Structure 1
Amino acid sequence: MFTIEHDFDATVITLIDEPETAPLQGDVVITAFDDRVVVRQDEPDTDRYSEITLSSRQLAELRAALNLPEGGYRLDRPK
């Protein structure tokens, strides 16, 4: 299950782990700004969370990598 919310300066997507999966993982919150994307996952056994920030370029490379076979790649930058 997931939710999408549009805030003033960001879009927030929350991925909610369903109980039929084992072991249950913490929810993932993705906050997309104009220049970066922040991915945060709550740790269900503690009051802590893990967080990473991707630049727009890194996000574009991740998007491309999901659809490419194994190998090393470099995306051309628009001129």
Structure 2
Amino acid sequence: MFTIEHDFEATIITLIDEGTPFLQGDITINAFQDCITVEQVDPQTDRLQRITISMTQLQELQSALNLPEGSYRVAEDPE
């Protein structure tokens, strides 16, 4: 299950783990104009963990999900 909310500065996506035995905490993704943040509460410390991804990194991640094992460089679009 997931939710999508549009806030003033960001689009907020929350992924809710509804699977069986080994459930993970909810993941919140904040999509800003210049970066993406991914947040999850660490159950051992009860502290919020956050990573920030640049838009370039996000595009590379999107490409990587559909490629076989290897090393790649995303070509820049010529203008």
**TM-score between both structures, scaled by the size of structure 1:** 0.90
Instruction: List aligned pairs for 1:1-79, cutoff 5 A.
Output: 1-18=1-18, 20-79=19-78
Alpha-carbon distance, 1:10 to partner: 0.6
Q: Which residue type is aligned with residue 14 of structure 1?
A: T
Any runs of at least 4 consecutive aligned residues in structure 1 with deviations exceeding 4 A, and if so which? none
The CA deviation string for residues 25-49 of structure 1, in whole angstroms up to 9 with x for no partner, is 1100000001100000112354212
Q: Which runs of 5+ in 1 are unaligned?
A: none
Q: Which runs of 5+ in 2 are unaligned?
A: none
Counting matched residue pairs gives 78
TM-score by length of 2: 0.90
Distance 2:20 2:45 in 1: 19
CA distance in 1, matches of 2:55, 2:69: 22
RMSD between aligned residues: 1.2
Give the counterpart letter for 1:26 in structure 2. Answer: G
Give, as a single letter, the amino acid of the residue that structure 2 aligns with 1:75.
Answer: V
Query: Which whole-Å CA distance do the structure 2 matches of 1:3 and 1:44 have between them?
Result: 21
